[in-house]
Amino acid sequence: MTDKKTKFQTEKQIFSEHIQKSGLRHTAQRDLILEIFLRTEEHLTSEDLYWLVQKEDATVGHTTVYRTLKLLTEAGLAREVRFGDGKTYYEHHYNHAHHDHMICTECGQVIEFFSAEIEALQDLMANKFGFKPTHHSLRILGLCENCQKINTETAASGAQPRVRVKSVVVS
């Protein structure tokens, strides 16, 4: 179930179809990048992903990773997320249904959450303005449980890893 041949089958097919529909071409680099992207449970910048790919194929360049992420976004396999530090992060949907983010401004931890009520209210709100929503982004900034406690020590300086915490769905 987790061997390379069968994993990410759906995603790979979606990608293939998108490539064909757009008259583009299937390449080894694109395959590898998608594979590694899906395999990684973190929010990645193009740069981050580049280094991961480097480990397995040192000939792949920044540009290709960058362009492939754009491609994956078009294909609906990736989503761009901004946490406010000026960088563009990407996340995939594999194992992660639609969700929003809480971001700890101290340690950079990212908590994924989902609230059906909030979603519903957003649509309601949009309706009132005749606005047709395509997508949305809700970020709650603040301090995570842990960083609230260790407030006594001199706070470690900002933005660490950006660990993608296992999605917890509470509605």
Report the nearest approach of a copy of itself to the CB of residue 162 (Å): 16
Q: Kindly tell me which residue out of 17, 47, 74, 123 binds DNA, with binding defined by CB under 7 A.
A: 47
Using the rule CB under 7 A, give the single segment among 5-13, 20-28, 128-136, 142-150 that binds DNA.
20-28
CA distance 97 to 167: 8
**Interacting partner of 10 out of a copy of itself, DNA, none (Cβ under 5 to 8 A depending on kind):** none
Q: How far does Cα 103 stand from its chain's mean position?
A: 14
Q: Kindly tell me which residue out of 17, 24, 84, 121 binds DNA, with binding defined by CB under 7 A.
A: 24
Binding-residue total with DNA (CB under 7 A): 25
* Residue 17 or 47 with smaller CB distance to DNA: 47
**Interacting partner of 87 out of DNA, a copy of itself, none (Cβ under 5 to 8 A depending on kind):** DNA
3-state DSSP assignment of residue 17: helix
Closest alpha carbon to 7 in 26, 31, 42, 43: 31
Using the rule CB under 8 A, give the single segment among 47-55, 70-78, 89-97, 125-133 that binds a copy of itself.
125-133
When asked if residue 96 is in the footprint of DNA (CB under 7 A), the reply is no
* Residue 16 or 122 with smaller CB distance to DNA: 16
From residue 147, alpha-carbon distances to 143, 152, 160 in Å are: 6, 10, 13
Using the rule CB under 7 A, give the single segment among 53-61, 110-118, 128-136, 163-171 that binds DNA.
53-61
CA distance 136 to 138: 7
Q: Residue 103: count other Cβ atoms within 10 Å of its Cβ.
A: 22
Pairing of β 44-45 and β 88-92: antiparallel
Residue carrying structure tokens 């563009």: 88
CA atoms within 13 A on the CB side of 11: 25
Q: Which positions touch a copy of itself (CB under 8 A)?
A: 82, 84, 102, 104-105, 111, 113, 115, 117-118, 121-122, 125-126, 128-145, 148, 168, 170
